[in-house]
Structure formats: structure tokens, C-alpha cells
Amino acid sequence: MCFLFAGGAARPLELGTGAGGANQFVRGFRGVAWEFLKTPRAGSRTTAARRGRGLAASVPTQHTRRVIRLIRDIHESDRASGRPSFSAEFFPPKTDEGERRLFAEVIPALLRLPIGYCSVTYGAGGTTREKTLGIVDRIQRDHDFTCMMHLTCVGATQDEIAGVVAEARSRGVRNILALRGDPPPGSGEFVRTEGGFEFSGQLVRYLSGSPDLCIGTAGFPEGHVAQKDGKHVDWGFLAEKIRAGADFVVTQLFFDNDDYYRFRDHLTGKLRIDVPLVPGLLPVLARAQTKKFVELCGAKLPAPFLAKLEALGDDDAAVTAYGIDYCSAQVEDLLASGAPGAHFYTLNKAHSTAGILKNLGY
């Protein structure tokens, strides 16, 4: 699954409530409408030298794809230049034809856009571990495109994870998104592998011992679906992961920007977190598919958005067009309110991401 379903349930911790605000009705592209929390405060910033690391020696005037870079440096140079950081996520294709399309059509199309980096997911239960690394390696070698490998705790001992990381580094992979991971389908709740990690924060801390790596992690604006003690507890454990060494956060998908603003304001204001908190966004393609995704990850569909999906029914072309417009308006509002950029869950397609960035003038 290509979304950040698997950040790991948090342990009990008492935290206060986050910042709130008034909802406003915002109209976007082609009359797309939803309720957002409009927040004038600036978004999060990355620290100049987390874990003793410096920034890139120079700040490029445009996105550089000929050199594989650390993602923390991409975010910092984009911030210093006043431009948003856009990124895209892929999943390992299940068929040879799917892989052909990804490399021959999707990635070349995205490389014509201001996309600074991409990422490739792990399958549930770590089922695509080798394929994930192979695709990340090929993207970087064939397209000179900075790529981040997802890495999970599921079904692996610490020694096995060390082996995966060593192989990744030998291939020039320096960016890793550290996740707890989803258990294999039908296996029930997550169970720690003997000799492995139980929480994604443990994986972050382990990876932070390698100063040549850039570490991302997952954040959940609506709280993790498995966290029964509430989203503020979940956000508290995210803060712990950041302090353990995570350089930036990519969020689970959301459709109401209010959720992101409350998440951001709690982390930056109450918990004093200063790394980029990158909104993860899904340009929807089909009604039934969207409902399935939100059921799995626990995200909510705002009533006006859901009503529009129901009205469009099984007309996937119309849903896709609406998804482009809705997500365009989301991104426009997020950037105006200080978000550092956007991470697009592409579903291995380029059309919607290209449409969104065209709507925004990129």
C-alpha cells in the first residue's frame, strides 16, 4: 500500500491539547469547496545542522536532478530560496508492464515538473523489500532522480535491517523513510519480530547512528488509526521520533486542511518541533478506491467532498478531474499558510500531479 498507514501505535503518554481556530469556507479551483482552518502563522523550518550535519555548500537556483542529494538539504535550499518542495511517491509495480510504464512514462513525465525527490514504498509485511531497493536504485541510476526508500520494522530482525541498510548504502541510497510497517494481510495486529524493533522511533534512533543518512518519518494529522489514546498522544511520540534523529516528516493523506494545521501548530508551538512537516496528499482517481483507502488509514472525508464523490459515482474520469481540482485548492491553501510543500501519492500515475502543478502555475 502506498500510503503511510504504518507509523506504529503509540504508547500511553499524557499531553495537552493542540491549538485550535475558526473554520472558514474556502473556494478553490472550478468551485471546489471545503472547510479549512486558515492559519497565518508560518510553517515549520528545518534546523541547520541536525545531528551535527551541515547544509549543502551552495543553494541552487532551480531543482537539481543530476546529483543525488540528501532530502534535508533539498528542503533547506528550497526554504532558503522561498520555493515549495514537491515530491512524489510510487509503489513497486506488481507486473512487468506496470514497471515498464513507471520507468518509461511516469517518471519521465514527473521529471519535467518541479519535483525535487520521490519515494518508493514497502509492501505490507515487508513483502517488497528487495524490489523496493531495486526500484530506488534504478530510479537514481537511470534518471539521476533523488529517491527515498521506505524501510519498516515488520518481519525483520535488527541484523536483517542492518543488512538492508548496508546494501542500500552500497548502491548510493542515502534517504530512508523509517516506518513501523503494516503486518502481512490477514495476520491481525503488528507483532514485533524477535530481535527486531517494536516502534518506528527505535528504527529512527538506530538509523541516526549513520550520519551519512537522511531520515524521514511518518506523521498522522488525524492520529494513527491504531492509537486508542488520541491524536495528541500520537503526536507526542512523533516528537520523540524527531528528537531521536528524524530530519523531516511526511504526513498521512488528509482531505481537510484543518487537520494539518492543528497537527502542525501542536508540534511546532507546544512541542517545539522545527523540522519540515510535509503534507501528504492524494489526488483521488475513483470513488470506491478512495473510500477503501480512508477506511484503511482512518482518514475522514469532509461532507462536501464525499457528497461530490457520490454525485460523480463511478465516472472515474470525472472523479479524477475533481481530484485534481480539489487537491490543487488544498495545495494552494497549504502553501499560503506556511506548509513547506507537498508530497503527492501518485498511485504510479503522472497525470494528476502534472495537472495540479499546472493549476498552481508550476
Residue 361 contacts by C-beta under 8 Å, 6 or more apart in sequence? none
Whole-angstrom Cα distance, residue 49 to residue 52?
Answer: 5
Q: Are the CB atoms for 325 and 359 separated by under 8 Å?
A: yes
Residue 350 contacts by C-beta under 8 Å, 6 or more apart in sequence? 105, 106, 109, 110
Would you state the cell numbers that stand for residue 2, as one nine-digit string? 502506498
Q: Are the CB atoms for 281 and 344 separated by under 8 Å?
A: yes
Q: Are the CB atoms for 71 and 214 separated by under 8 Å?
A: yes
Whole-angstrom Cα distance, residue 185 to residue 306?
Answer: 27
Which are the catalytic amino acids? 89
Three-state SS for the chain is CCCCCCCCCCCCCCCCCCCCCCEEEEECHHHCEEEEECCCCCCCCCCCCHHHCCCCCCCCCCCCCCCCCCHHHHHHHHHHHCCCEEEEEECCCCCHHHHHHHHHHHHHHHHCCCCCEEEECCCHHHCCHHHHHHHHHHHHHHHCCCEEEEEECCCCCHHHHHHHHHHHHHCCCCEEEEECCCCCCCCCCCCCCCCCCCCHHHHHHHHCCCCCCEEEEEECCCCCCCCCCCHHHHHHHHHHHHHHCCCEEEEEECCCHHHHHHHHHHHHHHCCCCCCEEEEECCCCCHHHHHHHHHHHCCCCCHHHHHHHHHHCCCHHHHHHHHHHHHHHHHHHHHHCCCCEEEEECCCCCHHHHHHHHHCCC
